[in-house]
A = this chain, B = another copy of it.
Amino acid sequence: MKIREKFTCPLELTHDVIKGKWKPIILWRLRLGEMSLSKLEKDIQGITQKMLLEQLKELMEFGFVNKKVYNGYPLQVDYFLTEPQGKRMIEALSIMQQIGIDFLLDRQSRAPIQE
């Protein structure tokens, strides 16, 4: 994904960053600290290595994620949130997470009792 040049408002820019099925989840995972591709792949159920790499690449282009390469054997690469941009995004995602939780609770309380 290329970064857009024209925006009506800055919100659109940020929305671009977390657009897509996986990006919010990846960022959300990375709040726990830096981790390898394989760990992310294990933690995020349903994602393929390919998707993960694609999305991480885009997040890096936007400057919200970065990576460290350890030249050892086996080769290891760790991904992490950038400071302050990546970390800042977690603030927004935290609220979204809470909204989601509240939504589910609220919905549950209205749901018919299942016996």
Contact = CB atoms under 8 A, between A and B. Distances in A.
A99 interface: yes
Contacts of A28: 9, 11
A72 to B, nearest CB: 32
**Chain A interface secondary structure, helix, strand, loop or mixed?**
helix
Nearest to A47: B8
Q: How many copies does the complex hold?
A: 2
Contacts of A100: 7, 9-14
Contact of A95 (B95, B101, B102): B95
Contacts of A15: 18, 24, 96
Interface in A28-46: 28, 44-46
Interface stretch (A49-57, A73-81, A83-91): A83-91
